[in-house]
Structure 1
Amino acid sequence: MNAKKTTSVLWGVGNPLRGDDGFGVHVAEALLEAPPQGMKIRLCETTPENHLAHLRRTRPSRLVVVDAALMGLAPGAMRRLPLASCKGISWSSHGVPLSTLLEEFSREMDLVIIAVEPAFREHSLELSPEVAEAKTVLLALLEGGELESIPLLEKTSRNAIP
């Protein structure tokens, strides 16, 4: 039997009931029916910690985490974040820092964290126009395997929580 090995997993993180905070979930939902080849999609929403057992079991070569974060940038701006920088980013809907959750995996798989700057996080099922555009861009980059074209976050967030 020749089963296809999953080489990457995408976690869609955020609260889809709070506008732009649902960015990661919106991206993941858009990929569910036709994910990029070799990629599995997980809707983590506000509890990425509930998906750690799956990650331990499947041991993909790459984990892509998509979320909204207050980085002090223009709404809709996307950045790749090193895991270490996630200690100082104000993630808006989940309490356990990604750096704490994913530390053990950082030595055995490629961790790619993609964040978008939200325009609003009020109660809404819709994304702002800026973040909806970022979603379209990210979907194309995922399909083309071009995540490295997203700039790295080079500064500490002015909205960071220690």
Structure 2
Amino acid sequence: MSFESQLKTFLDDFEKLIILGVGNELKCDDGVGPYIIKKLKDENIEDNEKLLFIDAKTVPENFTGKIRKENPSHLIIVDACLMDGKPGDMKIVNKKDFADIGISTHSMSLSFFVRYLEKDTEISIIFVGIEPKSMDYADKPTQNVENAANEFINTLKGIIL
């Protein structure tokens, strides 16, 4: 199943969607999550009450209260992720597989974060990983990762708008 059809299937019945971008903008491709959130906010589509975009930086756990308060039907977490692919490869990672992949360097494990959010809620959650090329200090993603980020944004907009 293609990335687009997986995303379309996941979002088929969404009532309220939060996109949570995770990463460090100062570490090149690790900043792909915040990069995507900034680009989505620049599009001014967040005015729709069904959409919320959160730049969680490297501390997604700081947003658990806000996410629970917003009570979304669906949550997409986007982050750089080591998946033994080519730079810019994009994949929907099943939450059960979080332990087997190298999700970037954040203070709380994303698998624990997801388990916490799912406790006593009905949120459907997926993780979109984008294979990084570089995690060195730089203030923007490499070209392949930026291209993947823009592809994700366009695919998402094609589904939800």
- Runs of 4+ more than 3 Å apart: 104-107
Bigger fraction of residues in helix: 2
- Specify every segment of 5 or more residues in structure 2 that has no aligned partner in the other structure, as ranges: 1-14
Distance 1:90 1:112 in 2: 16
User: 2-side partners of 1:20 and 1:54: how far apart?
Assistant: 26
User: Counterpart of 1:135 in structure 2: which amino acid?
Assistant: A
Q: TM-score, normalized by length of structure 1?
A: 0.81
Q: Which stretch has the larger CA shift, 99-108 or 111-120?
A: 99-108
The aligned residue for residue 138 of structure 1 is: 152
- Count of paired positions: 141
Asked if the contact 2:79–2:104 (Cα under 8 Å) also holds between the matched residues in 1, the reply is no
Q: How far apart, CA to CA, are the structure 2 residues paired with 1:130 and 1:98?
A: 24
Percent of aligned pairs with the same amino acid = 27
Q: Deviations over 1:94-131 (max 9, x none)?
A: 03221111114346111121010000010000211100
Q: How does 1:45-56 map to 2 (within 5 A)?
A: 45-56=57-68
Question: Could you tell me which residue of structure 1 aligns to residue 36 of structure 2?
Answer: 27
RMSD of aligned residue pairs (Cα, Å): 1.6
> Normalising by structure 2, what TM-score?
0.82
Please state if 1:63 is matched with 2:63. no
Contact 2:22 2:33 in 1 (8 A): yes
In structure 1, runs of 5+ residues without a counterpart are 1-5, 147-162
Post-superposition offset of 1:17: 0.1
